[in-house]
Structure 1
Amino acid sequence: MKRRKMILLFMIFIMLAGSLEFWAGNASANGLHEFREGDYLVNILDDGDGRARVFKFTTDNKITSSNTNLRLFINQIEIDSKEYTVNHESYTITMNKAPDRGAEISIKYLISPTFEWGEGISGKDQIGNALPEGNGSTRVFKLTNYLLSSSKNVSLYIDGTKVRASEFTFNYANNSITISEKRSAPGANSKMYFYFPVTSIAGTQSSSGEKTESPSTGGPVTPGKEVESEFQVPGGESYPGHITLSTNHTFIVNITSAAVQPTYTSYVMVKNANGEVVRRIRINPGNSSTYSLSKLGLPSGGYYFYLKTVNQSGGLAASIPQFVPINNEPQHIQVYIEGHKQAYAQAPVNVSGNVLVPFRAIFQSLGATVKWNKSTQTVTATREGKTIILTMGSKIAYVNGVPITLSAAPQLINGSTMVPVRFVSEALGGMVEWNIASNSVVVFQKQPTIPTTAESEKEAKSEPSSSSPILEKISHGITTPTDIVFVIDVTGSMGEIIGYIKETVKKFVDSVPSGSKFAIVAYRDINYVDAYHKDLEFFSFTNNKNVLKNNLDKLVASGGVDLEESGLEAIHMAVNKLSGSTNSKRIIFITDAPVHDKGTSQGKSGFFLEQIIAELKTNKVTLDAIAPTGGLAYKQIIQLVNSNKGKLYDINDASIMLLNK
Structure 2
Amino acid sequence: MNVRKMLLLPFMVIFLLGSLGLQAKAVQAADSLEYREYDNLINILEDGDGQNRVFQFTTKNKLTAVNTTLSLYINNIKADPKDYTVDYDSYTITLNKAPYSGSELHIQYGIIPGFEWGEGISGTPNVGIALPKGDGSTRTFSVPLYYTLSSTKNVSLYINGTKVTSSNFTFNAKTNTITLSEKQQVPYSGSTIYFYIPAASITGPLSPTGAEAENPPVTSPVPTATPKSSPSASPVPSATPKSSPTASPKPSVTPKSSPSASPSPGAATPAATPSPSTGKETSGKPKEPLAHVPTGESYPGSITAMSGNIFTVTLPAAAGGSGFTSYLMVKNASGQVVRQIKLEPGSTSIYSLANLGLPTGGYYSYLKTVNQSGGLSASIPQFMTVNHEPNNIQVYIGGEKQSYEQPPVNSNGNVLVPLRAIFESLGATVEWDSSTQTVTATKEGRTVVLTIGSKTAYINGVPVTLSAEPQLVNGYTMVPVRFVSEAFGGEVEWNGEASSVVVFQNKPSVPTSAESEQPAAAPPEPTESGPSSSSPILSNISKGISAPSDIVFVIDVTGSMGEVIDYIKESVKSFVDSVPAGSNFAVMAYRDFNYYDDYYNDVESFDFTQDKDKLKGYLDTLVAYGGGDDDESGLEAIHMGAYILEELGSSNAKRIIFVTDAAVHDTYLLSQFTVQETVDMLKADKITFDAIAPTSGHAYNQIIQLVNSNPGGMLYDIEDASVLSLHE
Shared fold by TM > 0.5? yes
Distance 1:479 1:24, change over 3 A: closer
Alignment correspondent of 1:597: 666
Distance 1:129 1:515, change over 3 A: farther
Alignment correspondent of 2:468: 408
Q: Aligned partners of 1:304, 1:547: CA distance in 2, in Å?
A: 30
Q: Is the 8 Å Cα contact of residues 84 and 93 (structure 1) preserved in structure 2?
A: no
The more displaced of 481-490 and 283-292 is 283-292
Q: Deviations over 1:483-507 (max 9, x none)?
A: 2111100111223322112223232
Q: Aligned partners of 2:120, 2:249: CA distance in 1, in Å?
A: 29
Within-5 A mapping of 1:205-604: 215-216=248-249, 229-232=288-291, 233-460=293-520, 462=522, 464=524, 467-579=534-646, 580-598=649-667, 602-604=668-670
Q: Aligned partners of 1:372, 1:569: CA distance in 2, in Å?
A: 70
Q: Is the 8 Å Cα contact of residues 425 and 443 (structure 1) preserved in structure 2?
A: yes
Q: Is the 8 Å Cα contact of residues 60 and 224 (structure 2) preserved in structure 1?
A: no
The correspondence for 1:70, drawn from 63, 78, 91, is 91
The correspondence for 1:610, drawn from 676, 687, 690, is 676
Say whether residues 1:652 and 2:681 are aligned partners. Answer: no
Q: Is the 8 Å Cα contact of residues 439 and 451 (structure 2) preserved in structure 1?
A: yes
Alignment correspondent of 2:688: 622
Q: Aligned partners of 1:591, 1:120: CA distance in 2, in Å?
A: 38
The more displaced of 242-251 and 621-630 is 242-251
Cα displacement (A) at 1:187: 9.1
Q: Aligned partners of 1:319, 1:230: CA distance in 2, in Å?
A: 15
Q: Deviations over 1:598-637 (max 9, x none)?
A: 1xxx410111111112222222222221112222212222
Q: Aligned partners of 1:325, 1:528: CA distance in 2, in Å?
A: 42
Cα displacement (A) at 1:160: 5.8
> What SS does the corresponding residue of 1:511 show, helix, strand or coil?
coil
Cα displacement (A) at 1:270: 3.0
Identity %: 54
Distance 1:230 1:478, change over 3 A: same
- Aligned positions, number: 540
Distance 1:384 1:592, change over 3 A: same
Cα displacement (A) at 1:237: 0.6
Q: Aligned partners of 1:39, 1:310: CA distance in 2, in Å?
A: 39
Say whether residues 1:191 and 2:222 are aligned partners. Answer: yes
Q: Is the 8 Å Cα contact of residues 36 and 42 (structure 2) preserved in structure 1?
A: no
Cα displacement (A) at 1:419: 1.0
Cα displacement (A) at 1:437: 3.6
Q: Is the 8 Å Cα contact of residues 23 and 38 (structure 1) preserved in structure 2?
A: no
Within-5 A mapping of 1:51-66: 53=83
Q: Aligned partners of 1:613, 1:209: CA distance in 2, in Å?
A: 19
The more displaced of 231-240 and 546-555 is 231-240
- AA aligned opposite 1:191: V
The more displaced of 546-555 and 320-329 is 320-329
Q: Is the 8 Å Cα contact of residues 243 and 670 (structure 2) preserved in structure 1?
A: no
- AA aligned opposite 1:612: T
TM-score by length of 1: 0.71
Distance 1:230 1:362, change over 3 A: closer
Distance 1:627 1:28, change over 3 A: farther
- AA aligned opposite 2:560: S
Alignment correspondent of 1:638: 704
The more displaced of 207-216 and 518-527 is 207-216
Alignment correspondent of 1:179: none
- AA aligned opposite 1:651: I
TM-score by length of 2: 0.65
Distance 1:574 1:90, change over 3 A: closer
> What SS does the corresponding residue of 1:204 show, helix, strand or coil?
helix
Q: Is the 8 Å Cα contact of residues 391 and 397 (structure 1) preserved in structure 2?
A: yes
Q: Aligned partners of 1:92, 1:245: CA distance in 2, in Å?
A: 50
The more displaced of 533-542 and 41-50 is 41-50
Cα displacement (A) at 1:48: 6.1
Q: Aligned partners of 1:575, 1:375: CA distance in 2, in Å?
A: 79
Cα displacement (A) at 1:566: 0.3
> What SS does the corresponding residue of 2:577 show, helix, strand or coil?
helix
> What SS does the corresponding residue of 2:604 show, helix, strand or coil?
strand
Cα RMSD for the two superposed structures: 4.5
Q: Deviations over 1:309-331 (max 9, x none)?
A: 22233222221111122324333
Cα displacement (A) at 1:304: 1.9
Q: Deviations over 1:457-482 (max 9, x none)?
A: 45558565881121112212222222
Alignment correspondent of 1:170: none
Distance 1:53 1:381, change over 3 A: closer
The correspondence for 1:161, drawn from 191, 195, 198, is 198
Which stretches in structure 1 are left out of the alignment for 5+ residues? 1-20, 58-64, 73-82, 95-104, 110-116, 131-158, 165-185
Q: Deviations over 1:357-414 (max 9, x none)?
A: 0111111211222222222222222333333232222333333343333222221111
Which stretches in structure 2 are left out of the alignment for 5+ residues? 1-34, 48-56, 111-116, 128-195, 202-216, 259-285, 526-532
> What SS does the corresponding residue of 2:440 show, helix, strand or coil?
strand
- AA aligned opposite 1:273: A
